[in-house]
Chain A
């Protein structure tokens, strides 16, 4: 058993080293409202959405779906939506998710692509892993509406 413990200790060291390399922050933030702060308030969220739009435009898997879009109003609506979802003082005034996506036939591939781009946009803006996960947790209930399931 001592051998196993020493092996487990080595593995623990590897994990610790990996964490250090990956620059993973631990200290979890507790209050619900702080997610909005962690995203950089409305200005931070607006920047994340802008970077997300740049990623979407370059993404062959999904950019067709966004053709002919009013970019300014999409940017404002998505920013409001993420702001509201994260507990910020905003109100999403766009159309319902199911209504917006009803005729788009969004595939899982496309949904995954957008999720990936959102994560990348949050990473570009220095949003920590915990805050990313908390936002994703609040977005995932929209999946059936977006996929029209």
Chain B
């Protein structure tokens, strides 16, 4: 499917004008960074924040490259997004999972020759109410992620029912000023309805469970100053496939936002058991440019 490059190009064209104009007005680091699914948030969890720095009279855009290397897998993500008036965020992302060690399991156990799984994710998020900095009750957003698994042979073989699915989530974010050691504390909570196996890379639904379930996700970060944010994330996961158990994800991250143009995020991630390969831990690195 060639839609993603086309969409990426369209997004780039749309945002090209604003690339030459001033960058948006929202306060540093309040656009979050780009998650592995393209939506603005942390690394694993979408937040109620919308990407880029566009405020209520501005356009903004982001481009991000991310990579996670665990013991037996490598995930690479390219993502892009635009933000209109800090009201609507549209995103696209392409995930590529190198199966590395799983290749042998697949060829010996299933006779499948597959060394990579790819997925496209199209996201939309709307800020429903509030402002993460200025509203006492925080900022609230709702979003969807339409996911399309491009290599369904392997997920189908291990029991996944569908090659596409839509996650729906509701998210709240709030910065508490001078909350801890006089530092600003960012707190996020997200509820996600999903049928995705390992985020969708192993398809949607399965033999053990095939219906939507609501998952809880949360993260918190402390701004050491306006350029450095350290924190943690947790993401509950479904467990739909009899073939292999699926675990919740968590990470510890540090984000460096030297100015509005650039954000660098590093994290240690723990993805638990993934498709029979146990206790997947590793490092995550993400670069995001905003314009």
Contacts and interface: CB of A to CB of B under 8 A. Distances in A.
Contact of A14 (B55, B57, B266): B266
Given A11-B254, A18-B228, A143-B134, A112 B283 contact: no
A116 B224 contact: no
B230 to A, nearest CB: 6
B243 interface: no
Interface string B122-152: 0000000001011110000000000000000
Contact of B281 (A3, A14, A22, A116): A3
Contact of A4 (B136, B181, B256, B270): B270
Contacts of B134: 111, 140, 143
Nearest to A133: B178
Nearest to A111: B134
Interface in B20-61: 25-28, 55-58
Given A8-B252, A8-B268, A143-B134, A22 B227 contact: yes
Contacts of A133: 177-178, 182-184
Interface in A109-149: 109, 111-113, 115-116, 119, 129-131, 133-134, 136-137, 140-141, 143
Interface stretch (A23-31, A66-74, A76-84): A23-31
B121 interface: no
A137 B178 CA distance: 7
Contacts of A130: 178, 181-183
A24 B224 contact: yes
A131 B57 contact: no
A108 to B, nearest CB: 4
Interface string A1-29: 00110011001001100110010101011
Nearest to B54: A109
Nearest to B178: A133
Contacts of A18: 224, 228, 254, 256
A55 to B, nearest CB: 13
A107 B56 contact: yes
A67 B282 CA distance: 55
Interface string B168-203: 000000000110011110000000000000000000
Nearest to A134: B178
B63 interface: no
B268 A28 contact: no
**Chain A's interface: helix, strand, loop or mixed, by majority?**
helix
B131 A108 contact: yes
B228 A19 contact: yes
Contacts of B283: 7
A131 B252 contact: no
B86 interface: yes
Contact of B266 (A3, A11, A113, A129): A11
A96 to B, nearest CB: 19
A45 to B, nearest CB: 18
A115 B27 CA distance: 8
A4 B252 CA distance: 11
A129 B224 contact: yes
A62 B253 CA distance: 35
A134 B182 contact: yes
Given A8-B268, A109-B56, A109-B57, A22 B178 contact: no
Nearest to A143: B134
Interface of B: 25-28, 55-58, 71, 86, 131, 133-136, 177-178, 181-184, 224-228, 230, 252, 254, 256, 266-268, 270, 281-283
Given A11-B268, A24-B224, 5 more contacts: A14-B254, A24-B225, A108-B57, A129-B226, A143-B131
